[in-house]
C-alpha cells in the first residue's frame, strides 16, 4: 500500500469524518462537497462536460455528459453518484468519471437524481430508471455504475430492469455500494471505529431522511433483497475497514446465488469510494484502470 493511502486516511479521519458526523444541514453538506470537489478533484485535460436532460415517458432528469478526448462511440456509462441520497452531484464526481472515460474510452452520463429530504424515496429510483430508459436504445448499449448510495441505486434499478423485463444493460460496476438500508451487516458495528470516512452513528438518520417512512427492506431501497436472475456481469469493490464492507460481500453472494457473474475486489484499509481520490491516491488510479479494463472486456 502507498504512503499516500496512509496520509489520506489520516486526513479523512481527522477532518472529513468528524465533519460528516456533526453536519446537520443538507444544504451545507452539499455546498461543502461541491467546493471541495472543485478545489481538489481534477479530470484529464481535454475532457468535456455538457449539461443536458434525459427524458422518458414525460419525466425529465437533468444530467451531465462527460467525455474524455479518447472516448469513442461504444457503450455509454450511466453513473449514479454517491452522497447518502442527500448530497453529492454529477459535478462532484465529474473528474473521476472523466478519468474513467479516458481509461475505458467511453462516454459517461451522470443524472442529477432526486435528493432527500427535498424529494424522498422512491423519487431517486424513479429518476434513475427514467435516465436508463432514455439511454437503453444506445447502439453500443449501457453500462450501469455508481458509488456508495449511488452504487446501491444502480443495483436497485438493475433489479427493476430485471423485474420489468426491460432491455438489459451490458454490465454494472459499483464502488463501496450501500445495498442494505436495514443495516443488518456485521461490518456496520465491527468497522464503526476504523472506517476513515463514514460515521456509523449517522446511518439511521440518513435512512430516515431518505425513506420517509417506507420499508427499508423494499428491494428498490435495499437491492440486497432484489431478484437478479438473468442480470449481466457485475463488478464490485470495497475496503475491508469500511462499514459497508458486508453490503458488498453479501451483495456478491446474493448475485452469485442467482446465477449472475460477479467479481468482488476487497482491498485493505482503503477509504470509502477511494477512486474519487485518484488525483493523489495510486490505488484510486489503479482501480479506475481495472474497472476500465473490465468495461472494455464487455
List, as one string, the DSSP characters of the chain: --HHHHHHHHHIIIIIHHHHHH---HHHHHHHHHHHHHHH----TT-EEEEEEEEETTEEEEEEEEE-TT--SS-EEEEE--STTTS--HHHHHHHHHHHHHHHT-EEEEE----TTTS-TTHHHHHHHHHHHHHTT-TT-EEEEEETHHHHHHHHHHHHHHHHTPPPPSEEEEES----TT---THHHHTTTT-SS--GGGHHHHHHHHHTTS-TT-TTT-GGGS--TT---EEEEEETTSTTHHHHHHHHHHHHHTT--EEEEEETTPPTTGGGGTTT-HHHHHHHHHHHHHHHH-
For the beta carbon of residue 169, count every other beta carbon within 10 angstroms: 27
**Which are the contacts of 220, defined by CB distance < 8 A and separation ≥ 6?**
121, 122, 125, 156, 159, 160, 226
Which pLDDT score, from 0 to 100, does residue 24 have? 87
- pLDDT band at residue 205 under the 50/70/90 scheme: very high
Q: How far is CA 117 from the centre of its chain?
A: 19
For the beta carbon of residue 80, count every other beta carbon within 10 angstroms: 30
Choosing from 103, 242, 278, 283, the catalytic residue is 242
Which pLDDT score, from 0 to 100, does residue 116 have? 97
Which pLDDT score, from 0 to 100, does residue 294 have? 98
Mean pLDDT of 264-291: 98
Choosing from 16, 93, 126, 272, the catalytic residue is 272
User: What are the pLDDT digits (tens) for 11-60?
Assistant: 999 999 999 999 889 999 999 999 999 999 999 999 999 999 999 999 99
Which pLDDT score, from 0 to 100, does residue 74 have? 86
Choosing from 148, 176, 187, 222, the catalytic residue is 148
Which pLDDT score, from 0 to 100, does residue 1 have? 75
Please state, in angstroms and rounded to a whole number, the distance separating the CA atoms of residues 230 and 129.
Answer: 18
Cβ-based burial of 109 (10 A; exposed 0-12, middle 13-18, buried ≥19)? buried
Are 146 and 111 spatial neighbours (Cβ–Cβ below 8 Å)?
no
Could you tell me the three cell numbers for 104?
A: 475505458
What mean pLDDT value characterizes the chain? 97
Query: Percentage of the chain with pLDDT > 70?
Result: 100
275, pLDDT greater than 80: yes
Please state, in angstroms and rounded to a whole number, the distance separating the CA atoms of residues 187 and 241.
Answer: 8
User: What are the pLDDT digits (tens) for 95-150?
Assistant: 999 999 999 999 999 999 999 999 999 999 999 999 999 999 999 999 999 999 99
For the beta carbon of residue 292, count every other beta carbon within 10 angstroms: 20
Which pLDDT score, from 0 to 100, does residue 73 have? 85
Mean pLDDT of 185-203: 97
Total residue length of the chain: 298
Q: Is 272 a catalytic residue?
A: yes
Nearest one of 209, 229, 226 to 217, comparing CA atoms: 226
Which pLDDT score, from 0 to 100, does residue 184 have? 97
Q: Is 242 a catalytic residue?
A: yes
Could you tell me the three cell numbers for 197?
A: 470516512
Q: How far is CA 222 from the centre of its chain?
A: 14
Query: Percentage of the chain with pLDDT > 90?
Result: 98
Q: Is 103 a catalytic residue?
A: no
Amino acid at each position: 500500500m502507498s504512503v499516500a493511502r496512509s496520509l489520506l486516511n489520516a486526513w479523512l479521519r481527522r477532518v472529513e469524518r468528524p465533519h460528516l458526523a456533526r453536519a446537520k444541514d443538507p444544504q451545507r453538506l452539499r455546498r461543502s462537497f461541491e467546493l471541495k470537489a472543485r478545489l481538489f478533484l481534477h479530470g484529464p485535460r481535454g475532457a468535456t462536460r455538457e449539461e443536458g436532460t434525459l427524458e422518458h415517458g414525460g419525466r425529465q432528469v437533468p444530467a451531465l455528459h462527460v467525455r474524455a478526448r479518447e472516448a469513442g462511440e461504444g457503450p455509454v456509462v450511466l453513473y449514479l453518484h454517491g452522497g447518502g441520497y442527500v448530497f453529492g452531484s454529477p459535478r462532484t464526481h465529474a473528474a473521476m468519471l472523466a478519468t474513467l472515460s479516458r481509461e475505458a474510452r467511453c462516454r459517461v452520463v451522470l443524472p442529477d437524481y432526486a435528493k432527500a429530504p427535498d424529494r424522498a424515496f422512491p423519487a431517486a429510483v424513479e429518476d434513475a430508471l427514467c435516465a436508463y430508459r432514455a439511454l437503453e436504445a444506445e447502439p453500443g448499449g449501457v453500462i450501469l455504475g455508481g458509488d456508495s448510495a449511488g452504487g446501491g441505486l444502480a443495483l436497485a434499478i438493475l433489479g427493476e430492469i430485471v423485474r420489468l423485463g426491460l432491455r438489459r444493460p451490458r454490465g454494472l460496476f459499483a464502488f463501496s455500494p450501500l445495498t442494505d438500508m436495514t443495516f443488518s451487516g456485521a461490518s456496520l458495528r465491527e468497522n464503526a471505529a476504523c472506517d476513515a470516512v463514514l460515521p456509523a452513528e449517522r446511518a439511521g438518520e440518513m435512512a430516515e431522511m431518505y425513506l420517509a417512512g417506507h420499508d427499508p427492506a423494499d428491494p428498490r431501497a435495499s437491492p440486497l433483497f432484489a431478484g437478479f436472475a438473468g442480470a449481466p456481469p457485475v463488478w464490485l469493490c470495497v475496503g475491508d475497514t469500511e462499514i459497508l464492507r458486508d453490503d458488498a460481500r453479501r451483495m456478491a453472494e446474493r448475485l452469485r446465488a442467482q446465477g449472475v457473474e460477479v467479481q468482488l475486489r476487497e482491498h485493505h484499509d482503503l477509504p470509502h469510494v477511494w477512486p474519487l481520490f485518484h488525483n493523489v491516491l495510486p490505488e484510486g488510479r489503479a482501480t479506475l484502470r481495472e474497472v476500465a479494463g473490465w468495461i472494455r472486456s464487455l
